[in-house]
Structure 1
Amino acid sequence: MINYNANISIQERTENFAIRVIKAYFELNKRPFDDAAKILSKQFLRSGTSIGANCSEAKYAQSNKDFINKYSIALKEANETIYWIKIMIKSELVSK
């Protein structure tokens, strides 16, 4: 079960999420001759790990505008990650 502790920083949450994404990526790529899994999991890996990278960059933003931009990118990447998860579930590549 996931512990949603409000005391954990967004950087730590997104880092933990990225680690889960990486583990899921490795599991999806254990399937031999499954090109769909390889392609979708790579997209999922890129967007899922990008969330934390952008939040980490925002921590050292040079201005408020830069800070907002980094978090806006992180939000877009989070939405893309949700999309890939939905596609993988609906295509029965993974279980809900």
Structure 2
Amino acid sequence: MKKNIVKNKSFEFSLKIIELYKILQSQKEYVISKQLLRSGTSIGANIAESEAGISRADFTYKLTISSKEARETIYWLQLLEQSNLVTLETDLSDYIKDCNELIRLLTAIVKTINSESN
């Protein structure tokens, strides 16, 4: 069975986001933490959903949505990082780096699919 790198990485990222969400909640940061939880876990959910795509276009669409969710996640992470709403022992730049890696993987997959279709 073939390893699905992007699916595995997005799942691991979701677990990290859940842990960060718990930390943010403990510091009484409720609004951005919930947005971050939704977008950060949605990346992997859309990748998982893409596997059941009814067509190549549906598959590509779900991966594109995952990429958009990853970009939104970076936005929330940067907002947290620069707003100083909470004090974190965790360096958010690692989360941003992981999210950018997911974006690069998703972009490469979508570009490959699109080039094979043409």
TM over 0.5: yes
CA distance in 2, matches of 1:30, 1:19: 17
Structure 1 segments, 4+ long, off by >2 Å, are 93-96
Q: CA RMSD in A?
A: 1.4
- Give me the TM-score of the superposition, normalised by structure 2: 0.68
Q: Deviations over 1:26-61 (max 9, x none)?
A: 011112xx3xx2100000000000000000011121
Report how many aligned residue pairs link the two structures. Answer: 86
Runs of 5+ in structure 1 lacking a partner? 1-6
Higher helix share: 2
TM-score by length of 1: 0.83
Tell me, which stretches of 5 or more residues in structure 2 are unaligned?
A: 93-118
Q: Percent identity?
A: 37
Q: Does 1:72 align with 2:64?
A: yes
Pairing partner for 2:20 from 2, 17, 24: 24
Measure, in 2, the Cα distance between the counterparts of 1:73 and 1:57.
Answer: 11
